[in-house]
Amino acid sequence: MAQIFSRRADLYFRLGLIAVLGLPIVLAISGFAYYRSSYFTKVGEYVAQPVPFSHKHHAGELGIDCRYCHTGVEKAAFAGLPPTETCMTCHSQLWTNAPMLAPVRLSLATDTPLRWQRVHDLPDYVYFDHSVHVNNGVGCSSCHGNVKSMPLMMKAEPLSMGWCLDCHRDPAKNLRREDEIFDMTWHPAADQDDKGRMLLAHYGIRPDHLTDCSVCHR
């Protein structure tokens, strides 16, 4: 039988076939990598803000308490952002002519809030509550990283469902004492296994229900 395709054409055909069959697999793998990558989750990225507010300077070097500006964090679902008046308690006297602070002065003068861009923003179908975590042994830095070292705010964790569940399955490994909640450099100690078990009982946490869908999707 005469060859319909020449050897060369046959080779091209095979290569083409490999490309066609292989492409979806390559796309799937790279798509997955993209989904998991920090580009997608925006971990470590800065967000442009109306004023380049520095946590490193204010919370780190000046040592202003997180709760001075995020007043809801222990009492409510939302930590909240400070109104312009909070900035002006200091900046009506300090750095009063700094161009960097012009938007803050304008905000006060025109009685329009500064439009801070969200850095952490869960989809609307996810329920989250700060007070539940902060009052039950989970510190800021477990979810936000070392905020006191950040010149500009950035996401330290992906805030994906898998990330939430990783802690909800076994919270003991991340639990701290009450006086350690605002410690931005906290790390589990060598005896965290024992400590965690004790703290689980201390806070009365029952991890068995924490992975139910209805906890976060209500």
195 binds ligand HEC (CB under 6 A): no
Q: CB-wise, 54 or 192, nearer to ligand HEC?
A: 54
- What is the footprint of ligand HEC within residues 1-40 (CB under 6 A)? none
Across 21-45, b (16+ Cβ under 10 Å) vs e yields eeeeeeeeeeeeeeeeeeeebbeee
69 binds ligand HEC (CB under 6 A): yes
In the complex, least distance from residue 213 CB atom to ligand HEC, rounded to whole angstroms: 3
Give me the amino acid identity at 114: L
Residue with tokens 């209500």: 218
Backbone angles phi, psi at 151, to 5 degrees: -60, -40
Q: Which stretch binds ligand HEC (CB under 6 A): 6-14, 18-26, 105-113, 160-168?
A: 160-168
Distance CA 51, CA 73 (A): 23
215 binds ligand HEC (CB under 6 A): yes
Give me the amino acid identity at 67: R
107 binds ligand HEC (CB under 6 A): no
- What is the footprint of ligand HEC within residues 76-105 (CB under 6 A)? 78-82, 86-87, 89-91, 94-95, 100-101, 104
Which structure tokens are listed for 95? 């750095």
